Amino acid sequence: MCTRILYQGSEDLVITGRGMDWNEDMASNIVILPRNTQYTSYAGNNPLSWTSKYGSVTTYGYNAGVADGMNEKGLVANLLYLAESQYGHNPQAQDLCMVQWTQFSLDSFATVAEAVSFFQSTPLNILAGVLPNGRGATMHLALSDASGDSAIFEYVAGKLCIHHDREYTVMTNSPIFEEQLALCNYWKNINGLTFLPGSISAADRFVRTSFFLNAIPRTLVKNYTTALPNQSYHQQALASVLGVIRSAGVPLGVQDPDKPNLSSTLWRTISDHQNLVYYFDSATAPSIFWIDLKKIDFTQLAKPLSLPNAQNSIYGGEVSQLFGDFKYPTAELIGSIMTF
């Protein structure tokens, strides 16, 4: 399930790309979330409560929680599956429902460094639960910001491991991130233009996208200039990142029933941190649409808004004016979808 890449180019351009692979429809909607809204963890005996500092554009899964998104400060959060996750329990810590981990991060932080500082100093119990398809909600989280900073958050053997460095530009699924880096280092000695691992396994996707991400240009390539809108480096970089994340995709209908991380790609997102544009590319629609966060007046937005059926409807172009009302999930609804 899923691949995430972080592109750091010239002209201060930073772009995060992500693919969502899963073994069933997730009823994905695009939801705009406002500032200054109070939330409480859906689950737990000592639930965490917080008030959102920043508005964001997000992709919801199962109408339960945020799987992906970017906030108005250019912080991007991507939640990916990790079978090895073990969250442990600290009786002194507050509880946070897994499906709110991504939203809490977007609500609360402007930069990766802020998030790292908080999670290092404030222990939380992440309550995973079981997803509607019977799989445990065992996830890890990637954050990236407008400066190109990056961090990977994994709970391994009951402890939070934070990998914080601009160099951590690729994340997939199993094995844990430290082991993925070791595998990738091995493949650096092999010319990727001659041979690359090509299966849909998370380890192969990690190596393949690492090579392509490093291979795509960081400046304007004259060979393609006439094909680019406005003949701009920015458009070239967006196309390159989309090409890399598509190269890690799995065709619709291909999956391993016993391994949800080996499943069809349902959708992809591209987050332009510098220009605050969030792109959505559905595997089941012929066109890409996007939301320009600069066109959303977060100072006036008082309630969440939704673009319904984002994955299985056909939208095109900039769609910020097409959003309608959205009703937040309740603890009761989450309890009917997931078990804890």
Residue with tokens 């994994």: 154
Percentage of the chain lying above the pLDDT 90 cut: 73
In total, how many domains does the chain have? 1
Q: Give the whole-angstrom CA distance, residue 125 versus residue 160.
A: 10
In the sheet that holds 76-81, the strands lie side by side as 159-164, 150-156, 139-144, 76-81, 65-71, 56-61, 29-33, 305-307, 324-325
77 inside domain: yes
Summarize pLDDT for 239-259 with one digit per residue, the tens: 999 999 999 999 999 988 777
Q: How many CB atoms lie within 10 A of CB 189?
A: 6
Task: Give the CATH number for residue 20.
Answer: 3.60.60.10
Q: Is the pLDDT of residue 73 over 80?
A: yes
73 inside domain: yes
Alpha carbon 217 to its chain's center: 23
* Three-state secondary structure call for residue 195: coil
Q: Which of 52-56, 69-73, 179-183, 192-196 has the lowest mean pLDDT?
A: 192-196
* Three-state secondary structure call for residue 35: coil
Alpha helices (H) along the chain: 101-108, 112-121, 177-187, 202-215, 233-247, 331-337
Model pLDDT, residue 258:
76
Residue with tokens 């705009």: 32
Catalytic site residue from 2, 97, 161, 184: 2
Distances in Å between the Cα of 58 and the Cα atoms of 34, 301, 305 are 11, 15, 10
pTM strictly above 0.75 = yes
* Active-site residue, 2 included: yes
Q: Domain limits at 244?
A: 3-335
**Residue 1: pLDDT band with limits 50, 70, 90:** low
Residue type for 25, please? Answer: D
Q: Give the whole-angstrom CA distance, residue 12 versus residue 166.
A: 14
127 inside domain: yes
Q: Is the peptide bond before 34 cis (omega within 30 degrees of 0)?
A: no
Long-range contact set of residues 117-120: C-beta below 8 Å, sequence gap at least 24: 119/153, 119/160, 119/162, 120/162
340 inside domain: no
Model pLDDT, residue 228:
87
Q: What is the DSSP string of 55-123?
A: -EEEEEETTTEEEEEEETTS-EEEEEE-TT------TTSEEEEGGGHHHHHHHH-SSHHHHHHHHHHS-
Summarize pLDDT for 114-161 with one digit per residue, the tens: 999 999 999 999 999 877 767 778 999 999 999 999 999 999 999 999
